[in-house]
Amino acid sequence: MTTSTPAIPTGESVLRFEFATSHRVIFGAGSLSQVGPAVRSLGSKAMVITGRNPDRARTLTTALTESGVESVVFPLAGEPTVENVAKAADQARSAACEVFIGLGGGSAMDGAKAAAVLAANPGDPFDYLEVIGRGRVPAGGSLPCVAIPTTAGSGAEVTRNAVLTSPQHHLKVSLRCASMLPRVALVDPQLTLDLPPDLTASTGLDALTQLIEPYVSSRANPITDGFCLDGIRRVARSLEKAYSNPNDLKAREEMALASLLGGMSLSNSGLGAVHGFAGPIGGAFPAPHGAVCAALLPWVMEANIHALRLRAPNHVGLSRYRYVSRVLTGKEDATSDTGLAWIRSFIGQCGLPRLRDLGVRHEHFSGLIEKAVLSSSMKSNPIALTAVELRTILDRAW
Ligand SMILES: [Fe+2]
């Protein structure tokens, strides 16, 4: 950004909000070394939920042993399903685990958060699931959970929900409650150094989406506004660097922080139409969440800007989109289109897939739109989009 920064656009309605995040956030390169004492303060036996290769948890389990914490590793192949988190919770109960650790991307962390709730509550997971379940509040709360991200994108280390796949419903749904906020979010940017370029790009665009959507959300608040703008600035100066040079620790640090800020923002201010579609698409096709968000982001922004100009020309969302562009491009005279061009150019440079490459076909559009309008994310989109506008987004992203 150049010198005179314009005032952050705000709305005129009465301000009311709540803000909550993880009890403790430990951030910094090498901070994994603090995991032993952090976990020991919560319990003496831990279930570690990680990705498909349990060997990647070895440094962590060694550190736990040195701090007097016994551990059981539960590898999670792919995204967490209702069935496998219930299995993890059962195993944890049998092994008398007192604390859960999620080590990995959003899947592993969400898996740990969900299993920690199920282990503390009786009954069936469907008692507590949104949309396809009975949506009851888990009265028993959650066992303590420590979330350690190894990608920079999901922000799941500081969110109060877990996205679970239900293969029988072809849907991704959330298990959500305040007690799911991890007790400790331990963010060590060094853990993201070996992330390959394609995953760096797609998870990084998920992080960017999770900073833009809460900023233009109908539930935006002044705390998350600051987090979003700071995070967008970090993505603008570091995503391309992390993509081109995986060992650039400074760029990894910036992206890890941007992801953390995005998680804090979405958890308090909600998301929008990108995530409204990402749930149904991710539930129906084996497509990575970050890639789905990347495919949709520019087209959702374009549709929102168009709808706001048409139906709400004085809406604060329009000036917020312009402000996002300024922060992304560093140009004071940037218009909303300049920011869109910046995002499209990065997506093109990385060769990220379009919806057609992720398995989506035109005949799926109606079903995806029906499910998207019911999603919680769609409710905080800055403006209600019509069925035609939603179809146009899918057409363009296809
Ligand atoms: Fe996301």
Q: What is the pLDDT along the chain (398 residues), one digit of tens a residue?
A: 444 455 667 666 688 999 999 999 999 999 999 999 999 999 999 999 999 888 889 999 999 999 999 999 999 988 899 999 999 999 999 999 999 999 999 999 999 999 999 999 988 888 998 778 888 899 999 999 999 999 999 999 999 999 998 888 877 888 989 999 999 999 999 999 989 999 999 999 999 999 999 999 999 999 999 999 999 999 999 999 999 999 999 999 999 999 999 999 999 999 999 999 998 999 889 899 999 999 999 999 999 999 999 999 999 999 999 999 999 999 999 999 999 999 999 999 999 999 999 999 999 999 999 999 998 899 999 999 999 999 999 999 99
Ion ligand 1 residue ranges (Cβ < 5 Å): 206
Of 157, 187, 217, which one is at a domain's C-terminal end? 187
Nearest to 199 by CA among 294, 266, 327, 100: 294
pLDDT score for 198? 95
Residue 336: which of 298, 286, 392, 370 has the closest Cα?
Answer: 298
Residues 241 and 383 in one domain: yes
Contacting residues for 300 by C-beta, under 8 A, at least 6 apart: 272, 273, 274, 277, 393
> 171: CA distance to ligand 1 center in Å?
15
The answer to whether residues 251 and 108 belong to one domain is no
Going from the Cα of 209 to the center of ligand 1, the distance in angstroms, rounded, reads 7
Nearest to 395 by CA among 282, 295, 288: 295
- Which of 131, 163, 187 terminates a domain? The answer is 187
Q: Ligand 1 centroid to 215 CA: how many Å?
A: 14
Residue 59: CATH number of its domain: 3.40.50.1970
My answer on whether 58 and 95 are in the same domain is: yes
> Do residues 248 and 216 share a domain?
yes
4 domain-assigned: no
Give yes or no: residues 142 and 176 share one domain: yes
Question: Residue 335: inside a domain, yes or no?
Answer: yes
Residue 385 lies in a domain: yes
**Domain boundaries, position 91:** 31-187
> Final residue of a domain: which of 187, 207, 235?
187
> Is residue 26 a part of any domain in this protein?
no
Is residue 21 in some structural domain? no
Ligand 1 centre distance from Cα of residue 203 (Å): 8
Residue 175 buriedness (CB in 10 A; 0-12 / 13-18 / 19+): buried
Ligand 1 center from residue 235 Cα (angstroms): 15
Q: How far is the CA of 276 from the centre of ligand 1 (A)?
A: 10
Span from the CA of 189 to the centroid of ligand 1 (angstroms) = 19
Task: Please indicate, yes or no, whether residues 253 and 393 belong to a single structural domain of this protein.
Answer: yes
pLDDT at 215: 98
Residue 206 CA, ligand 1 centroid: distance in Å: 5
Ligand 1: distance of its center to the CA of 386 in Å?
A: 23
Which CATH number characterizes residue 262's domain? 1.20.1090.10
Question: Are residues 344 and 204 located together in one domain of the fold?
Answer: yes
Most distant pair of Cα atoms in the chain: their distance: 62
Which H or E run includes 145? strand 145-149
Ligand 1 geometric centre to CA of 64 (Å): 30
Give the number of domains in the chain: 2
Q: Do both 109 and 45 map to the same domain? A: yes
CA of 93 to the centre of ligand 1 (A): 30
- pLDDT confidence of residue 4: 47
378 and 243 inside one domain: yes
Tallying the residues shown for the chain, one arrives at 398
- Give the model's pLDDT for residue 1: 41
The alpha carbon of 292 and the centre of ligand 1 are apart by a number of angstroms equal to 9
